[in-house]
Structure formats: structure tokens, C-alpha cells
Structure 1
């Protein structure tokens, strides 16, 4: 089992472009659909795998370019430590005082460590000042529990089963 870490920050307006954050349906719009709908489907199908925007479903980070991986760890403790370090680094820029609260950050870190130790993914997002957004994710490749058909983006071998919890 191994984990990949992902981090994205950017303008809230760009983050809100949900069409580029969800995988397109595998089928084309029906015959007779408006040309702009067909064109938009083509654009999303081409752009979703390469755009750096965080996917709506955490496992779909695995279809993104390998260059977006911020770190890879064999164990959940190391992956959780990276997640916790990123929270601590960005906390002074969190827009909400409750998001910056030390007790809240400790709970997030503990929850992430527990989830990762069970073979799950961790995803957290919050608004930063200026209106910007931070998205942090750690995705398990073992294979991924929620999308086992997705291959590891870095080509690392994956065992047949994730640890039970």
C-alpha cells in the first residue's frame, strides 16, 4: 500500500468550475443535442484528465498528471504527517478563525491518520484569504478502495486488497 499527496491552491472562481472537476460521462450527448452541449462534452472529456483542478471525487486525482503528486509514502503515518504539515503551513492564511483553531486542526490531523491507516483517502478544503481556496488530498493506491479500476499514476505496483478497518 502507498499514498500520494496532492495540494491545490487557486482562485475560488476557478475552483467553482465544477464541469472540469468531475469525470465526463462515458457516453456522448444523444443525437440531436445542441452543438454547444456536444462541444462542451468534448472539452471536458479532453481537459478533465489534465487540468490541475481538484476532482470532486478524491480517487480521481489518480487520473491526473503524475507531476501533480506532491509526495508518495509507503505508510499511512508518513502520509498523515505530510497532511498535518500542510494544514499547519496554510493555517495562518485560512479565512475563518474556526478553521485556524488549534483544536480543530488537531482533530483533522487525527482523523486523517485514522482514515489513512484503514486504506481510505483524505480530502480537505477550505477558503484562504483573498478569496482563494486550498484543497489537500492524500489518495491511497492499494488499489484505491472507492475506484479500484484506476491505476497508480506513478506506475508503482499495487497489492490486490486494501487493509480492512
Structure 2
């Protein structure tokens, strides 16, 4: 078992495009609804490659390996990476309470614990409006939430 780190920053408007943040339904829409068919084709082609954070954390494993920011065998090392990201971005968090160093240390500690039993970790923060930060740690080989997903780095 190992852990991959993912980080995304971008406009909140782009982040809110939920159709591109979830895998397409296995069944396409009826052919008599051309605009739905077209959107389905777009989502089917774009979801696996678009850098937007998926709605389900485990679905990062469907994305290209080039989006991985780091890989760690030990949960503590992965959580330390999370801590470095939070420390780097904390001055830009829109909420003062989210910048609290004790709160951030608790997020890192709970991440190490969750990764230790094979869970995933995902956090999102508003930065300067309208920017959003998404940071995630995904357990791989296998993933508890989606054991059928293949690790992007084999």
C-alpha cells in the first residue's frame, strides 16, 4: 500500500463544473436527446484527463499519473506533505479560522491516522476570491473506497 498526493488550485467557477468532476454514467442518454448525448460524449472524453478534482477522492486514480504531486509508502510522510501544502497556502485562506496552526496540525495528524488504515484524505479551501484549493491524499493498491481502480503508477 502507498499514497499519492494531488493538489489543484483554480477558479471556483471551474471547480463548480461538477459534470467534469464525476465519471460519466455507464449508460449513455437516449439518442433522441442530442444535447445530452453531446454533453455525455464531452464528459466521457474529458473526465479521465481533466485536472479538476473528482467528486469522489478515489477517482483521482483514474486521472493521468502526471497529476500526482508525490508518492509515499508511509502515511506519516504523506501527511507531512499535506502539512507543507497547508502551511504554504494558509496565508491565502479566506477564513482566519482555517489559518489557525493548531487546526492545521490536527488536519495533518488525522490524515496520518486515516491513511494508516487505508482511507483517503481530501480538503478544500477558498483562497482569494474566486480561487479554490483542493488537496488530497489517495491510498493506492488497493483503495478501500474503490478497490477495482488500478494505480496510475505501476
Q: Bin the TM-score by the shorter chain.
A: over 0.9
Deviations along 1:107-159, whole A, 9 cap, x unmatched? Answer: 2111111101111100000100132000000000130000011000011xxxx
Question: Within 1, Cα distance between the matches of 2:61 and 2:9?
Answer: 18
Q: Deviations over 1:43-71 (max 9, x none)?
A: 00000000000000000000101100000
Gaps in structure 2 of 5+ consecutive residues: none
Determine the structure 2 residue equivalent to 1:74.
73
Match of 2:143 in 1: 144
| SS in structure 1 at match of 2:43 | helix
3-state SS of 2:9 partner? strand
Q: C-alpha offsets along residues 89-110 of structure 1, whole Å, 9 cap, x if unaligned?
A: 1100101101111121122111
| In the alignment, structure 1 residue 96 sits paired with structure 2 residue 88 | no
* Aligned-residue RMSD, C-alpha: 0.8
Which aligned runs of 4 or more in structure 1 are off by greater than 6 angstroms?
none
TM-score (normalizing by structure 1): 0.91
Structure 2 residue 144 is the aligned partner of structure 1 residue 153:
no
- Segments of structure 1 that go 5 or more residues without pairing to the other structure are 156-165
- Residues 44-59 of structure 1: pairs in structure 2 closer than 5 A: 44-59=43-58
* Structure 2 counterpart of 1:115: 114
**What are the Cα deviations for residues 13-36 of structure 1, in whole angstroms up to 9, with x where unaligned?**
11010000011101111242x200
Instruction: Tell me the TM-score normalized by structure 2.
Output: 0.97
Q: Work out whether residues 59 and 144 of structure 1, in 8 Å CA contact, stay in contact via their aligned partners in 2.
A: yes
For 1:27, the equivalent position in structure 2 comes to 27
Contact 2:31-2:37 at 8 Å conserved across structures = no
